[in-house]
């Protein structure tokens, strides 16, 4: 966002921070191609999901506005994460509808995570219509620096 305003790279830390964030956004939203998973689904499936990875943890983002968090059922078995729930869209009986594109009903999505996730350390939060599930990875699987003696 700020690149075009700046002529050189020796910018302040604020802009570095913005650039870092933007790079990470670009990373998460995937401007590079990669193979689709076996459980990948076609466009238009509700809710859309993005999954990001760091050496320490896996973050799963489900984009589902106006959910009742209590209606959600999140379960993890080994490295298979399942999220199911339902969302009902209120219908205004007296109104005339021109478009009805919003998803209404039950949904279920299954996500294959990397094999080194720890099913015991999972957290979930719901904010601004995004359900974020954070799963820690096993320490043994993290990359380690090895010094040559």
How many angstroms separate the CA atoms of 126 and 84, rounded?
A: 14
Which of 39, 36, 111 is closest to 74 using CA atoms? 111
Question: Going residue by residue from 78 to 97, which x/- string records binding to another protein, judged by CB under 8 A?
Answer: -----------x--x-xxxx
Q: How far is the CB of 46 from another protein (least distance, A)?
A: 9
What does each C-alpha distance from 56 to 14, 60, 126, 134, 146 come to in angstroms? 25, 14, 21, 10, 18
Question: Does 45 participate in binding another protein (rule CB under 8 A)?
Answer: yes
Binding site for another protein (CB under 8 A): 3-5, 9, 20-21, 23-32, 34-35, 37, 40, 43, 45, 47-59, 61, 63-67, 89, 92, 94-103, 111, 114, 126-130, 132
């Amino acid at each position: 966002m700020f690149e075009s305003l700046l002529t050189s790279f020796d910018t302040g830390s604020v802009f570095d921070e913005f650039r870092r964030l933007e790079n990470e956004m670009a990373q998460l939203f995937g401007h590079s191609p990669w193979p689709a998973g076996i459980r990948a689904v076609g466009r238009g499936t509700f809710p859309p999901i993005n999954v990001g990875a760091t050496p320490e943890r896996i973050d799963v983002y489900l984009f589902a506005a106006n959910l009742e968090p209590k209606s959600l059922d999140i379960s993890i078995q080994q490295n298979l994460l399942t999220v199911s729930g339902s969302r009902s869209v209120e219908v205004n009986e007296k109104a005339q509808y021109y478009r009805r594109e919003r998803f209404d009903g039950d949904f279920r999505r299954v996500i294959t995570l990397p094999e080194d996730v720890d099913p015991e350390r999972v957290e979930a939060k719901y904010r601004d219509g995004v359900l974020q599930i954070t799963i820690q990875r096993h320490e043994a699987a993290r990359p380690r620096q090895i010094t040559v003696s």
